């Protein structure tokens, strides 16, 4: 299997885990599944909300280089995630040390 196919499979699995609740915990870019789920309403294409305090706290220890790797993923849209909203989360949370993608 080519590395491109593997990367696509990984992205699909990660995005699916954001939508489907499971008892299996994941860790993506330094954030747990619960933390990712906490941020999901703030990056939703339909009726986004302000990021919660729990979301902002989770972003404090996130791996931004890793998260930025998903910025242009075509799979984000299929899961209702707006990449522009996701990119603005650090600013919305007043996290001044977060790099921009």
Q: What is the pLDDT of residues 25-52, one digit of tens each?
A: 678 899 998 999 999 999 999 899 999 9
What is the DSSP secondary structure assignment for residue 101, as one 8-state letter?
-
User: What pLDDT, on a 0 to 100 scale, did the predictor assign at position 25?
Assistant: 62
User: What pLDDT, on a 0 to 100 scale, did the predictor assign at position 44?
Assistant: 93
CATH class of 3-92: mainly alpha
HEC profile of 33-60: HHHHHHHHHHHECCCCCCCCHHHHHHHC
Give the start-end residues of each E strand in the chain.
27-28, 31-32
Residue 32: how many other CB atoms lie within 10 Å: 13
Bridge partners, 44 (sequence order): 81
pTM of the model: 0.70
User: What pLDDT, on a 0 to 100 scale, did the predictor assign at position 56?
Assistant: 96
Q: Which residue has the higher pLDDT, 64 or 20?
A: 64
């Amino acid at each position: 299997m080519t590395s491109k196919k593997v990367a696509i499979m990984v992205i699909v699995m990660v995005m699916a885990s954001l939508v489907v609740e499971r008892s299996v915990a994941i860790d993506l870019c330094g954030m747990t599944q619960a933390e990712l789920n906490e941020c999901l309403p703030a990056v939703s294409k339909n009726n986004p909300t302000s990021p919660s305090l729990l979301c902002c706290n989770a972003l404090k220890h996130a791996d931004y280089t890793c998260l930025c790797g998903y910025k242009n993923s075509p799979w984000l849209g299929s899961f209702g995630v707006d990449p522009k909203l996701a990119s603005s989360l650090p600013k919305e949370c007043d996290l001044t040390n977060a790099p921009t993608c």
